[in-house]
Structure 1
Amino acid sequence: MSTPAAKGGQQMKVTERIQMGGGPGRGPGGMVGQKASDFGPSAKRLIRRLAPQRVKLIGLMVLAVVSVVLSALAPRFLGHATDRVFAGALGRQLPAGSTVDQVVAGMRANGQDRLADVVQGMDHLVPGRGVDFTAVGHILLLVLALYVASNVFSFLQGLMLNGLVNRTVKGLRADVEEKLNVLPLEYFDSQPRGEILSRVTNDIDNISQSLQQTMSQLLTSVVSVVTILAMMFWISPLLALIALVSVPISMTVARQVMKRSQGQFVNQWRSTGRLNAHIEETFSGHELVRVFGRQADAEATFAERNEELHDAGFKAQFLSGLVMPVMMFIGNLNFVAVAVVGGLRVAHGALSVGDVQAFIQYSRQFNMPLTQIASMMNLLQSGVASAERVFELLDAPEQIPDRGGSLPDVSHGEHSGEVRFENVSFSYDPDKPLIEDLSLVAKPGQTVAIVGPTGAGKTTLVNLIMRFYELDGGRITLDGVDITEIPRSALRAQTGMVLQDTWLFEGTIRDNLLYGRPDATEEELLEAARATFVDRFVHSLPDGYDSIVDAEGGSLSAGERQLLTICRAFLAEPSLLILDEATSSVDTRTELLLQHAMAALRTDRTSFVIAHRLSTIRDADLILVMEDGAIVEQGNHDELLAAEGAYARLYASQFAAPADEEQVA
């Protein structure tokens, strides 16, 4: 494949530049260059997208707080139940009729000071009385009610979260779709199709999954940490301070791991985009891959990019996966310290057994949300990495906004449909001028043919009329109105364009033909089909016009697909017509028939026809010969042949060779 330099400074049209793969912001091989991730701003921006649903977000937080508080109260009451059971078991062994003070005094007299401290610190101990199972039962019922209520509120929280996240992601998808519709063609030229599809599908799906799995968990975990910490200080400030020692250690470990794993998550999703781009290109062009015997190369490229994705994914998951076991190890050390100090406090009568039991349970619960936060970091980082890629798309420069003018009526009137180029300049690359100071006039109803070698700027010329690109200088007018004053949608709605590359979508043949004019009647559809010779092959299909075709055309030949696109333009009844090698895929006989059909289609319309086969444009009112972005000759067929210039040389190169072969034969 040639490089831009090999083209002698000439610039390429869209399809050629896409195949070359170069473009702004891309590295070797046409792949998107990697940027350093910026977790904080991307995460804040993702959170800000929840702002339109702030009422539900507040409700979600309230439900989380209530659920966590109810759940956090349960261990405290379980501690009371334990105290009553322990007091009853110990009280049964003490002499009935005596008071606690008498029992304590007797124990101290016998040298049992530790046991005396324990008994003195018990609130519900009655010497000689066993376990009060009624009171214990009431406490257990209360704990059960707390857990049930907590789970109900947690369920409501999950239900509300599901709606909130799905609406947020729905809005994000809508913004991306809207953005894609206002991006200039240069953006799509500079990005592999698979890369764009990966951002629109995989990355947005990953954002949705990450929000679903992390948002509720993080909110609940943060509230749990605060609530449980308050309960721990309520029971024992000393033990609470011991438990807090693990927090800065845990946060330091999590921060260090996050710093190293975030870049790997960005690499993972960029590698996913590159792999998708390769798969999309390979499968869309699988016939060419097989024809040129490049299956092995395609498989090798796939293996290389698949390995890149594997390595990036492994590193990201491995690094983020270190957080949870390290946090659990720190939590276990903290648990040992709490258990030892708590046991000593019970032995000295400063705490009850139930208090220590509740505190140990709180200690476990305190480490659990910290561990959960750490374990959610990999999902959160992955989601933010995807969000960053989606935000890059949303931040891409948009095309120049429409100025809100109106479209002149080019379908009626004696002087409608005039297209005028006035000192137009344009280039894809500022360092390589393509079209400079070009002026021409296409009169109403004229058929203007554009010929010239590959890379001369023929397709670029008609793309400028459609405002696919903005001019660097000069202007183009339609019936005296600058096209920059006309809304793009209005301009393109009145323009029919048939390209060399056919485009069909999955649906019936009828749907594809009605794409440009959905309100056409059945009779109008059949009339257009007969005029463009679509009707003759559609009737041979089992379901006729209701036959299903896919984006690749299904069982239709390349020529039949081209006929469908020509029929679609015919049915739309455009005011301006652009034909870019529209008959290149049909046989010679059909081409001759189509020339008559397109002659009828071009009647009373200003038409631009790009052609390499000069035999197809002999009847054009005006023929423009382009070289290196400039019009070197113009006139009709006979005038240009008589001039014996560039057109005559092109014509001779196409028809002289067959004549020479006949003479040799």
Structure 2
Amino acid sequence: MTTTDAWHGVAAEQADEVSDEAGVRLRRRSRALLGSLLRPYRRRVAVASLLLVVQNISGLAGPFLISVGIDAGLPPLVNDGDGSVVFAVAAALAGATVVEYAARRAYLEFSARITHGILYDLRRRAFAHLQRLSPAFHERYTSGRVISRLTSDVDALTDLLDGSLDDLVIQGLNVLVIGVILLVLDWRMGLLTLVAFPFLALIIGWFRRRSGPAYRRTRETVALVIVHIVETLGGMRAVQAFRREPRNNTLFGGLATDLADADRRVIRLMAVFAPGVYGVSIATTALVLGVGGWLAASGHLQVGVLTAILLYTRRFFDPMTQLSMFYNSLQAATAALEKISGVLEEQSEIAPPADPVPLPVHAGRGRQVELRGVRFGYRDDRIVLPNLDLTIPAGQTVALLGSTGAGKSTVARLIARFYDPLGGSVRLDGVDLREVDEAALQAAIITVTQENFLFRGSVADNIRFGRPDASRAQVEAAAAEVGAERMIRALPAGFDTPVGERGTRLSAGQRQLVAFARAVLADPDVLILDEATSSLDIPSERAVQQALRTLLADRTAVIIAHRLSTVEIADRVLILDAGGIVEDGPPAELLASGGRYTALQELARR
């Protein structure tokens, strides 16, 4: 199968899997989510429902009043010139219209507050939950799919709540109330109208069974289109560098075709459903007119009642016809709710401690880090660290070296608790990281990586990122400590210079210096530098190394770097191979031993 074919088939396979194996669970889960969103608004929903009932009854009063005007008002008006009944009916019609208008206006105000409250709660809940999920989730669940959940799926729910839901409810009430009114006006005509129900039930049941998977597939293909757009734009430099544009266009064309096919499938279903309902309504109306006309002509049915029955019959089937339009929004929102509820159901692999243990109070900044019998792999069939034991005393700077895949970054991620070990434990001052309070752990350990992310805002805002309450003087002092102050003051607005999206207004080296200043200001007990100086030029690296000697003093630090000049500031060097430590000692001793570290130094000099 080609890459294009694989992309093409994903949406259909996921839609079939959902509809065949997990449809019931998805519906139960989405209903639970909707119930939890509606729960805080129970009273408002009750008031809005009452207003809808009032609006519905007021709107349906018209045909009944017309029948009264025809049967009870016209004879005295024609025969005796007495128009009191007609005038009373006209006044009642005007009053019903006013009540309908007032109820409708009040309902729209109530429903708007409910809708905006629900969507606000949903967005905040989803966004907060996504931030709590571990890095493993975000590596598995692409950013494009996350964006789709928070944008297009929420928009689908917005379309339903803002425009279609009240219409669906009103039309449902119309069907119920009109059915009762028809039976009250004339039970024979009422039963005749209800003959259409079995046919309508067949059509609606057929549409419901087939439309669910169709709309789910539409949501999946929309998500895949967003994923492809986000990945392409995010990696635009690589796309253009490798002349990937034609291939990406081909992939996008395939995804767009899948989306068009999914939309056409929905349209084909609608093309059968809407005319089918309309055909049943026309046939039933013709039957009512024929039988009712014969009864009226034979004196067994009043003309006004027949008129009201015909008007009600038309209104009875109008909701059925309009349901084809409303069902689009309903099914799209249902599919979107299923997707959002799926994200909210995700559990972080990094579970918060049930009974948090405080870190021991200590003098100074460094803390001891221990890995005891640690076993870890990103997949069960690919173990990176089979059984690692490592102790880093408080205040010591350790450099990790080794070939790609040796486990250097994995050790750093475990110490930062981005992942939990499959076996053994990682400890900070003797306390298992799985038992440490999350806030205390986040304050104690900071990681600076090669691709440090800068957010929209000023340089000062980004330095203050880990400590929002820091003063301007503290921000400037942190920048000075890592040798970034001169560079920052040379920018157009100094510390107030906007960094742009993802920090694109700064060079890679400038972004790295800002990230160092951010870490200094956060003042952690344990600092992890994962290829943190790789984006710096030689002069900047030397300035940072001088600053790091001051920064890392009395602080526990783990340095991962390919540049051996960065490693020279470490107190201790560990050489890793296949997840195990093969050399361990001070840089000078290892260099004199003639082992792997010596070989790495010789390669660096060539």
Shared fold by TM > 0.5?
A: yes
- Contact 2:446–2:524 at 8 Å: present in 1 too? yes
Does the Cα contact within 8 Å between 2:482 and 2:547 map onto a contact in 1? Answer: yes
d(CA) in 1 for partners of 2:10 and 2:593?
Answer: 45
CA contact (8 A) 1:262 1:316 kept: no
Q: Does 1:405 align with 2:356?
A: yes
Alignment correspondent of 2:116: 166
Q: 1:62 aligns with which of 45, 50, 64?
A: 50
Quote the offset at 1:651 in angstroms.
2.5
Structure 1 pair 31/543, CA: closer, same or farther in 2 (3 Å)?
farther
What is the rounded CA distance, in whole Å, between the counterparts of 2:291 and 2:29 in structure 1?
Answer: 44
Letter in 2 for 1:301: L
Determine whether 1:616 maps to 2:552. Answer: no
CA shift at 1:608, angstroms?
Answer: 0.4
Deviation, structure 1 residue 410: 6.9
Contact 1:258 1:320 in 2 (8 A): no
Contact kept, 8 Å, 1:42 with 1:387, in 2: the verdict is no
- What are the residue-to-residue correspondences of 1:101-500 with 2, within 5 Å? 126=79, 129-130=80-81, 132-398=82-348, 399-408=350-359, 412-413=363-364, 416-500=366-450
Counterpart of 1:401 in structure 2: which amino acid?
P
State the shift of 1:208 in Å. Answer: 2.3
| Segment of structure 1 superposing worse, 295-304 or 173-182 | 173-182
Q: Is the 8 A contact 1:626 1:633 kept in 2?
A: yes
**CA deviation after TM superposition for structure 1 residue 647, in Å:** 2.3
Deviation at 1:317, TM superposition (A): 3.5
Count matched residues: 593
Which residue of 45, 56, 59 maps to 2:32?
45
Q: 1:44 to 1:456 in 2, by over 3 A?
A: same
Give the letter for the 1:56 counterpart: R
Q: Does structure 2 retain, via aligned residues, the 8 Å contact 1:214–1:379?
A: yes
Does the Cα contact within 8 Å between 2:528 and 2:558 map onto a contact in 1? Answer: yes
Distance 2:325 2:14 in 1: 30
Worse overlay, 516-525 or 607-616? 516-525
Whether 2:590 is the aligned partner of 1:640: answer: yes
Name which one, 1 or 2, has greater alpha-carbon Rg: 1
Unaligned runs of 5+ in 1: 1-19, 21-25, 92-125, 659-665
CA–CA distance in structure 2, aligned partners of residues 478 and 45 of structure 1: 40
- Decide which of 497, 500, 504 is 1:550's aligned counterpart: 500
Residues 595 and 47 (structure 1), Cα distance of their counterparts in 2 relative to 1, 3 Å cut: closer
The one of 36, 49, 54 equivalent to 2:18 is 36
What one-letter code is carried by the residue in structure 1 that aligns with 2:554?
D
Contact preservation (8 Å) 2:73, 2:85: no
Give 1:490 shift. 1.3
Instruction: Note closer, same or farther for the CA distance 1:33–1:362 as it changes in structure 2 (3 Å cut).
Output: closer
Identity %: 30
**2:66 equivalent in structure 1:** 78
Question: How far off its partner does 1:638 sit?
Answer: 2.1
Shifted more, 132-141 versus 39-48: the winner is 39-48
CA distance in 2, matches of 1:535, 1:619: 22
**How far apart in 2 are the matches of 1:610 and 1:527?**
26
Q: Partner letter of residue 81 of structure 1?
A: G
Describe the shift of the 1:142–1:30 C-alpha distance in structure 2 as closer, same or farther (beyond 3 A). Answer: closer
Give the secondary structure class of the aligned counterpart of 1:36: helix
Residue 654 to residue 31, structure 1, CA distance change in 2 (3 Å): farther
Pair 1:168–1:72, CA change in 2 (3 A): same
2-structure distance, mates of 1:565, 1:410: 28
Deviation at 1:237, TM superposition (A): 0.8
2:364/2:554 contact within 8 Å kept: no
Displacement after TM superposition at 1:632 (Å): 1.5
Give the match's secondary structure for 1:470.
coil
1:563 equivalent in alignment to 2:513? yes
Q: Which residue identity lines up with residue 344 of structure 1 in the other structure?
A: W
How far 1:616 moved relative to its partner? 1.4
Worse-matched range after superposition: 611-620 or 518-527:
518-527
1:352-396 deviations in Å (ceiling 9; x for gaps): 111111110110111112223343222111101011111111112
Q: CA deviation at 1:496?
A: 2.3
Displacement of 1:507 in angstroms is 0.7
CA shift, 1:592, in A, is 0.8
Shift, 1:495, TM fit: 1.9
Q: CA deviation at 1:409?
A: 5.0
- Distance in 2 between residues matched to 1:453 and 1:600, nearest whole Å: 29
Where 1:355 maps in the other structure, the secondary structure is helix
Give the C-alpha shift of residue 445 in structure 1. 0.9
Q: Secondary structure at the match of 2:450?
A: coil
Distance in 1 between the 2:98 and 2:540 partners?
77
The amino acid that maps onto 2:51 is L
Aligned counterpart, 1:576 = 526
**Counterpart residue identity of residue 412, structure 1:** A
AA partner of residue 83 (structure 2): F
Give, in whole Å, the separation in 1 of the partners of 2:498 and 2:315. 59
Partner of 1:123: none
What is the Cα deviation at residue 189 of structure 1?
A: 1.2
Question: Which ranges of 4 or more aligned residues in structure 1 deviate by more than 6 Å?
Answer: 26-32
Shift in CA distance, 599/188, structure 1 to aligned 2, threshold 3 Å: same
User: Which amino acid in the other structure matches residue 64 of structure 1?
Assistant: L
1:590 aligned partner: 540
Distance 2:30 2:173 in 1: 20
1:578–1:608 contact (8 Å) kept in structure 2? yes
Residues 348, 46 of structure 1: alpha-carbon distance in 2 compared, 3 angstrom cutoff: farther
User: In proportion to residue count, which structure has more helix?
Assistant: 2
| Match status 1:506 vs 2:429 | no
Q: Provide closer, same or farther for how the CA distance between residues 565 and 643 of structure 1 changes in structure 2, counting only shifts above 3 A.
A: same
Cα shift at 1:307: 1.7
Question: Could you list the per-position Cα deviations for residues 113-156 of structure 1 after superposition, in whole angstroms to 9, with x for gaps in the alignment?
Answer: xxxxxxxxxxxxx4xx35x3343122112111112202211222
Sort the Cα spacing of 1:429 and 1:458 in 2 relative to 1 into closer, same or farther, 3 A.
same
CA distance in 2, matches of 1:184, 1:552: 21
Alignment check: 8 A CA contact 2:14 2:220 kept: no
Deviation at 1:449, TM superposition (A): 0.3
Q: Distance in 1 between matches of 2:244 and 2:97?
A: 63
| CA positional deviation for 1:42 | 5.0
| Residues in 2 aligned to 1:378 and 1:31: alpha-carbon distance in whole angstroms | 19
Q: Per the alignment, in what secondary structure is the counterpart of residue 322 of structure 1?
A: helix
How far apart, CA to CA, are the structure 2 residues paired with 1:575 and 1:30?
A: 47
Q: Is the 8 A contact 2:14 2:217 kept in 1?
A: no
- So what's the TM-score if we normalise by structure 2? 0.93
- Which residue number in structure 2 is paired with residue 105 of structure 1? none
SS class of match (1:401): coil
CA apart distance, 1:552: 2.6
Once superposed, what is the RMSD of the aligned Cα atoms? 2.3
1:434 partner SS: strand
For the residues of structure 2 that align with 1:392 and 1:440, how far apart are their CA atoms? 39
